[in-house]
Amino acid sequence: MTDGKDGDYCTVCGGMVPKGSDVRIIPVDGKEVGINQLPFILKEVADLGPMSEAQVKEALLVRVKALNYVPTKKEAAYADALYEVYLRYLEKGE
């Protein structure tokens, strides 16, 4: 992820790698993926109130895609993984 010149860059999308505690690693389709601003996204979706599983997945994916690269072919896998993280978030009552 680093070229030694100007900083760290993502090997997938070429963008700058976010730094700090706002990046969370989650498993997506068997691979670890860093999601920027995940705690904020989870709280924001939870604050929307009761929704169906499909609505929650869509709300999560829209917000994640606004701040992270999500390959089009992997959108369903990301939505499933994010939903699992969301359910754990709700269970913890955070």
Number of domains in the chain: 1
| 68 lies in some domain | yes
Question: What tokens does 94 get?
Answer: 């955070």
| 49 lies in some domain | yes
The residue type at 44? E
pLDDT at res. 36: 94
| 53 lies in some domain | yes
| 17 lies in some domain | no
| 27 lies in some domain | yes
| 30 lies in some domain | yes
Q: How far is CA 21 from the centre of its chain?
A: 14
pLDDT tens, residue order, the chain (94 aa): 444 556 555 555 555 555 555 899 999 999 999 999 999 999 999 999 999 999 999 999 999 999 999 999 999 999 999 999 999 999 997 6
| 60 lies in some domain | yes
pLDDT at res. 93: 76
pTM of this structure = 0.79
| 78 lies in some domain | yes
Q: What is the DSSP annotation of 20-72? A: STTEEEEEETTEEEEEETHHHHHHHHHTT----HHHHHHHHHHHHHHHS---G
Range of the domain at 51: 23-92
